[in-house]
Amino acid sequence: MKKLQSQILAILEEDCRYTPAKIAVMLEKTEQEIVDAIEEMEKSGVIVKYTAIVNGERLAEETVQALIEVRVSPQKSSGFDAIAEEIYRFDEVKSCYLMSGGYDLAVFIEGRTLREVARFVSERLATLSDVLSTATHFILKKYKIEGTITDTEDENRIRISVHA
């Protein structure tokens, strides 16, 4: 990867609201150079999506999120990819990762209630022919999401204790 692309990605990962014009100033490049580099990364699939990190605890509506560890039987021709695709195509699935260790896949899902999440696991996920077992962990609180501390009061306490 080119140095310019790496620099742009670091900036966008910090805050994807930066405009090409602002990034150009930060990197001492022309706006067109930044636009071209971003377009190239979007077309090649390096940049997949721009998103916001939302602290759900500050919203009025409640959701239930869970991490489900899934042990599967890999398929002869496609390994884990086919079963992973079958799982990540469910609307409830927010993220799906191939993992090392005791389970093969880590699946993050979201539902409106505990019952809805439980029903998803028991009726949709666990019934797939290649799923051998699951372990469901409900997420109780998020302290940090994608490198960002979600509770500013906690962040202030950390700063105070570090500088005290």
What six digits make up the tokens of 4?
């310019």
Interatomic CA distance for residues 74 and 95, integer angstroms: 19
Q: What is the pLDDT of residue 149?
A: 86
CB neighbours of 95 closer than 8 A, spacing ≥ 6? Answer: 106, 107, 108
**Size of the chain in residues:** 164
With contact defined as beta carbons under 8 Å apart, do 41 and 104 qualify?
no
pLDDT tens digits, 104-160: 999 999 999 999 999 999 999 999 999 999 999 999 988 888 888 887 665 455 555
CB neighbours of 19 closer than 8 A, spacing ≥ 6? Answer: none
Q: What is the pLDDT of residue 162?
A: 52
Question: Residue 149 — φ and ψ, nearest 5°?
Answer: -70, 130
Please name the helix (run of DSSP H) or strand (run of DSSP E) that holds residue 121, with its range, or none: none
Q: What is the pLDDT of residue 152?
A: 65
Instruction: Show the domains of the chain with their CATH numbers.
Output: 3-44 (1.10.10.10), 56-141 (3.30.70.920)
**What amino acid occupies position 27?**
L
Q: What is the pLDDT of residue 150?
A: 81
At 1, is the pLDDT very low, low, confident or very high (cuts 50, 70, 90)?
low
pLDDT tens digits, 20-78: 999 999 999 999 999 999 999 999 999 998 887 777 777 767 889 999 999 999 988 88
pLDDT tens digits, 67-108: 999 999 998 888 999 999 999 999 999 999 999 999 999 999
CB neighbours of 16 closer than 8 A, spacing ≥ 6? Answer: 50, 51
